[in-house]
């Protein structure tokens, strides 16, 4: 069997065709142009989001949130330690401190009890990470809790385009939501992201910060003749060139997710009647899911041996994250945090298996067969 890669960037024929069409039109490469406007229109139609900014990354979307909230040195932001680095770095650059919360054993999501323990008079925001593309099972209660405590809720929705909680799309619960179109995500443009602003009081400010701290959007709306510098900001805009690759995927996202569901469910089928004491699955999600990742949790500490075995058999599997609280920078920027035993333990046992739209069912069968043989020996 040839090498089975963990990820292959989506080489969508319709996306390639649209890029060629865009280049032949000799339109400006920067945005916003036709492709960006069509993406925003399509996303609003699909999910009902009111305000959408297409950014050059999910990191940029998170950074905009930090700037909008005008975080101070005395402010604290609660995040799970089990997350990607920019969930943290986007906020600490403002001078605030981080408060890490632990995850639960069964689904790798933050514990509500842990979140509550982290809250104090300095808590300004909470970043809830929808890991693997699904949410915590208390999202309604969490939103109410944040409103009661006057804490801003930010959804790190990098992995969850197309996932729902109950009958609402993820990204519609927080004051803000940040999505990714990185090449490891379900829909991808190499780099790229999206900021959804649900809190109306921040709409105007989001436009200023998004476009270099200027009021250019008022010129685009025809409300004034010239734009000027009005506040802090940066160049967070997605280019029209990148958007031309992304647009066809947004339009056809259901087809892309449908194929991923076949791959995911093939893993489940292979392991369903076989699961033993060696590892377990994490996803018992009850709602509409986008099948972003297939994750197993080993029940022993021999992950390196397991990964070497897979590599020897031409299977490229990966870990998820090194916990933020154990990293060099993570230790510098944190406030005192309760024990994070689950994060510390489980992060060493997590393995992500290959899952992408260029993968075949035959290749998944091969991966599952090799894993069974490993644990049966």
Residue 293 Cα distances to 242, 340, 355, angstroms: 24, 24, 6
Which helix (H) or strand (E) element contains residue 279? strand 279-281
Residue 130 to residue 114: CA distance in whole angstroms = 16
Q: Which is it for the CA torsion 328, 96, 345, 283, positive or negative?
A: negative
Instruction: Show the tokens assigned to 121.
Output: 């008079």
| Predicted local confidence at residue 282, as pLDDT | 77
C-beta of residue 64 within 8 angstroms of C-beta of residue 210: yes
Concatenating the DSSP letter of every residue in 122-141 gives TEEEEEEE-GGG---TTHHH
What's the CATH architecture for 13-251?
3-Layer(aba) Sandwich (3.40)
The CATH label, of 3.60.15.10, 2.30.30.240, 3.90.1150.10, 3.40.140.10, for the domain at 253-376 is 3.90.1150.10
CB atoms within 10 A of CB 318: 14
| Predicted local confidence at residue 336, as pLDDT | 62
> Is residue 33 helix, strand or coil?
coil
Taken as a whole, the chain contains a residue count of 377
Letter string b/e over residues 326-336, b meaning 16 or more CB atoms within 10 A of that residue's CB: ebeebeebbee
* pTM (two decimals): 0.95
Going from N- to C-terminal start, the domains of the chain cover: 13-251, 253-376
| Predicted local confidence at residue 279, as pLDDT | 85
| Predicted local confidence at residue 1, as pLDDT | 78
> Is residue 85 helix, strand or coil?
coil
| Predicted local confidence at residue 330, as pLDDT | 84
Estimate to the nearest angstrom the gap between the alpha carbon of 248 and the chain centroid: 20
| Predicted local confidence at residue 141, as pLDDT | 97
Which residue's structure tokens are 């990148």? 242
Residue 113 to residue 103: CA distance in whole angstroms = 10
Alpha-carbon torsion, ordered 218, 204, 209, 65, to 10 deg: -160
Q: What are the per-10-residue average pLDDT scores of the chain (377 residues)? A: 93 94 92 92 96 97 97 94 94 93 86 92 97 92 97 97 95 98 96 97 95 89 90 93 97 97 95 78 81 92 94 96 89 76 92 97 97 89
């Amino acid at each position: 069997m040839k090498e089975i890669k963990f990820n292959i960037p989506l080489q969508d024929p319709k996306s390639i065709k649209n890029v060629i069409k865009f280049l032949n039109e000799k339109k400006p490469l920067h945005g916003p142009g036709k492709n960006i406007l069509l993406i925003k229109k399509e996303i609003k139609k699909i999910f009902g989001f009111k305000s959408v900014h297409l950014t050059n990354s999910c990191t940029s979307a998170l950074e905009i949130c930090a700037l909008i909230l005008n975080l101070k040195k005395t402010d604290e932001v609660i995040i799970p330690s089990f997350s990607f680095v920019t969930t943290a770095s986007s906020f600490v650059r403002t001078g605030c401190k981080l408060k890490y919360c632990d995850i639960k054993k069964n689904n790798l999501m933050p514990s509500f009890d842990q979140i509550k323990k982290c809250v104090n008079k300095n808590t300004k925001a909470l970043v809830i990470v929808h890991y693997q593309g699904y949410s915590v099972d208390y999202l309604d209660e969490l939103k109410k809790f944040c409103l009661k405590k006057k804490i801003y809720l930010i959804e790190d929705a990098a992995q969850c385009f197309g996932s729902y909680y109950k009958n609402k799309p993820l990204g519609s619960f927080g004051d803000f939501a940040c999505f990714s179109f990185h090449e490891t995500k379900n829909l991808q443009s190499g780099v790229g992201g999206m900021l959804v602003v649900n809190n109306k009081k921040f709409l105007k400010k989001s436009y200023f910060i998004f476009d270099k701290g200027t009021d250019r959007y008022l010129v685009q709306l025809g409300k004034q003749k010239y734009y000027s510098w009005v506040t802090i900001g940066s160049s967070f805009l997605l280019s029209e060139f990148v958007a031309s690759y992304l647009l066809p995927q947004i339009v056809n996202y259901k087809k892309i997710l449908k194929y991923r569901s076949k791959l995911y469910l093939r893993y489940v089928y292979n392991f369903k009647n076989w699961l033993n004491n060696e590892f377990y699955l994490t996803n018992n999600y009850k709602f509409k899911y986008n099948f972003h990742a297939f994750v197993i949790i080993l029940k022993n500490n021999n992950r390196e041996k397991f990964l070497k075995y897979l590599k020897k058999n031409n299977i490229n599997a990966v870990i998820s994250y090194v916990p933020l609280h154990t990293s060099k920078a993570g230790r510098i920027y944190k406030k005192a945090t309760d024990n994070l035993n689950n994060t510390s333990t489980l992060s060493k046992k997590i393995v992500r298996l290959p899952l992408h739209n260029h993968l075949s069912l035959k290749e998944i069968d091969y991966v599952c067969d090799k894993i069974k043989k490993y644990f049966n020996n």
